[in-house]
């Protein structure tokens, strides 16, 4: 348990990756962790597309301004959901599991926005997902370029945001 709380706190967005690839087994472990996230009415409306092909990663990187580093990533997991009432919450919960599982495996990750982005349908086309599927996120993955990157970063202080009994 203590270990788990440690991983929660050292997770941070990593956007600079080394050249090392991620084994299929590790990628499977990460998606396996994603499927244990909670979902409204336990619908589990998600699908996960793992991309390791360098040409496709580069195509994904070019789609928007905020995910250029995807080009250097060893892999990307695109999280899709069926268009259910709580698709965004469900898909986001799965995305968080992906980020945390990656951290636990020593793999750097960064959430790249999917939902609401003008390029979302282009991602569906590129990855052969049916147009009805909602793109939640694209998680860039790779072994961090720098050493010792997993460390807690500054966040809003607990005392500033924790309210007991009333706001
Ligand atoms: C919904 C969502 C969308 C995000 N989209 C992007 C993105 O497109 N590009 C990016 O570099 N980071 C993106 N991020 C990562 C945030 O910038 C990052 O989580 C935030 O700056 C806090 O840093 P930390 O993850 O290291 O704690 C996104 C995060 C969330 C939750």
Closest CA to 142 of 58, 33, 23: 23
List, in order of start, the domains of the chain with CATH numbers. 2-161 (3.40.109.10)
Question: Given a cut of 80, is residue 84 above it in pLDDT?
Answer: yes
| CA 112 / ligand 1 centre spacing (Å) | 6
pLDDT digits (tens, 9 = 90+) for 119-128: 999 999 999 9
Q: Is the CB of 113 under 6 A from ligand 1?
A: yes
Averaged pLDDT of the chain: 97
pLDDT digits (tens, 9 = 90+) for 101-141: 999 999 999 999 999 999 999 999 999 999 999 999 999 99
Q: Flag whether the pTM goes above 0.85.
A: yes
CA distance 127 to 39: 24
119 three-state secondary structure: coil
- Residue whose Cα lies nearest atom 20 of ligand 1: it is 13
């Amino acid at each position: 348990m203590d270990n788990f709380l440690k991983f929660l706190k050292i997770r941070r967005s990593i956007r600079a990756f080394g050249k090392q690839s991620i084994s299929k087994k590790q990628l499977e472990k990460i998606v396996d962790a994603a499927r244990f996230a909670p979902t409204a009415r336990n619908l589990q409306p998600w699908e996960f597309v793992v991309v390791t092909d360098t040409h496709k990663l580069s195509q994904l990187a070019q789609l928007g301004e905020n995910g250029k580093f995807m080009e250097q990533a060893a892999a990307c997991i695109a999280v899709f959901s069926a268009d259910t009432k709580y698709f965004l919450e469900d898909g986001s919960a799965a995305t968080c599991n992906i980020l945390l599982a990656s951290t636990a495996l020593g793999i750097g990750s960064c959430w790249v926005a999917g939902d609401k982005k003008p390029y979302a349908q282009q991602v569906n086309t590129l990855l052969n997902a049916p147009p009805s599927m909602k793109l939640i996120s694209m998680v860039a993955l790779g072994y961090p370029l720098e050493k010792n990157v997993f460390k807690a970063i500054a966040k809003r202080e607990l005392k500033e945001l924790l309210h007991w009994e009333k706001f």
